[in-house]
Homo-oligomer: A and B are copies of this chain.
Amino acid sequence: MTETLRIGMVGYAFMGAAHSHAWRTAPRFFDLPLGIGMTALAGRDSERVTAAAAKLGWDSVETDWRRLVERDDIDLVDICVPGNLHAEIAIAALEAGKHVLCEKPLANSVEEAERMTEAAEAAKANGVLAMCGFSYRRTPALSLAKRLVDSGALGEIRHVRAQYLQDWLTDENAPLTWRLDKDKSGSGSLGDIGAHIIDAAQWIGGADITGVSAILETFVKERPVGGDFVGLGGHGGTDGPKGPVTVDDAAVFTARFGNNAIGVFEATRFALGRKNAMRLELNGSKASLAFDFEDMNSLWFYDSADGPNSGFRKIQATEPEHPYTGNWWPVGHGLGYEHGFTHQVVDLVNAIGAGEQPTPSFGDALQVQKVLAAVEASAADESRWTAV
């Protein structure tokens, strides 16, 4: 009889829905070493968390995450709340002997991320494991990109070109949500979407960023104070009071990597017409790779070995040989955004089953946090070159 991994999740907005779907779906398409129990959902508002649990399929609720962490029938705590709460919850859960899956960015500061990493390393000695949720790593096309780089197909990497372009703040009257409040979110585009391309570039390219020169910009300085807005975007009305936007609307920076590649990064919520253009291109001495999440099932691969008839190949990353996709549909039947979360659960449960460290570890996520901090420091000092 398979043992069951009992999950307690904190938060039930956008990320909570994605994670719930993943816990529910993973065992239906993949053979896992442990069963999945969607045991408890925590949220502050009793009525709303009860409704969310019913909708999302959780067996019970808690109105205080501390209670969740204390429960004996919880094996893993899944953290889906704004970044200002990550450190406290994660450290408490780890100290209580619960495995932890924590949404990205790991924390709102390097100091918090360092404490979390220390807690994770201490817990690991006791067989308790922690993972940070950079779910884009589990998009099959990006997993395939990683595999190609690891195989040496690209040769020496010279250029990294990374963009995460959205446009949902272009409307100057989009409401002031928690994502625009530095106290809760830590930063704006930088931590929310910039963190994804930093992680992807370092992970796929196989080298850390060693220094940056950055600009942060807030185009719209104040916005309508919203009510209870949980999604992205929307229109907040023009009559009511406004409050200050305390985070960046856009972050752009140049970078150097440990493998001598140079990089260009851009994260913005003001690229009108670009909805979720999480893009990454690597140019090596032998081959190149390009990806755009707006066409998420394709990986473009240029192999100079193809000679004069070389060209970027549009690989549909849906072959049985490709990462994850053999467990889904026939080739060409594309996957969607949420599959990254499902694959994240698969890899996490497999790691727990095997007693091995899942990736990205909190340490990996701490490295991203250090890049975020370097970007902020550089931007605050006239784009001065800042080592990570």
Chain A residues at the B interface, C-beta cutoff of 8 Å: 14, 17-18, 20-21, 24-25, 28-29, 55-57, 144, 148, 158-159, 161, 163, 166-168, 170, 172, 213-215, 217, 219, 231-233, 250, 252-254, 256, 260, 262, 264, 266, 268, 270-277, 281, 283-288, 293-302, 304, 306, 308-316, 318-322, 328-339, 382-385
Contact = CB atoms under 8 A, between A and B. Distances in A.
Contacts of A339: 336
Contacts of A262: 215, 217, 250, 252
B20 A330 contact: no
A252 B231 contact: no
A304 B308 CA distance: 18
Given A252-B254, A272-B288, 17 more contacts: A21-B28, A24-B25, A28-B56, A144-B309, A167-B283, A219-B260, A232-B331, A250-B262, A264-B264, A264-B266, A272-B285, A272-B304, A273-B288, A276-B334, A299-B311, A312-B314, A329-B338
Q: Which of A144, A275, A296, A298 has the most CB of B within 10 A?
A: A275
B254 A253 contact: yes
8 contacts: A21-B25, A232-B331, A254-B383, A271-B281, A272-B287, A273-B304, A313-B314, A382-B384
B283 A264 contact: no
A260 B29 CA distance: 42
Contacts of A385: 382-384
A335 B18 CA distance: 12
Given A330-B168, A331-B276, A336-B335, A215 B271 contact: no
Contacts of A144: 309
Nearest to A158: B270
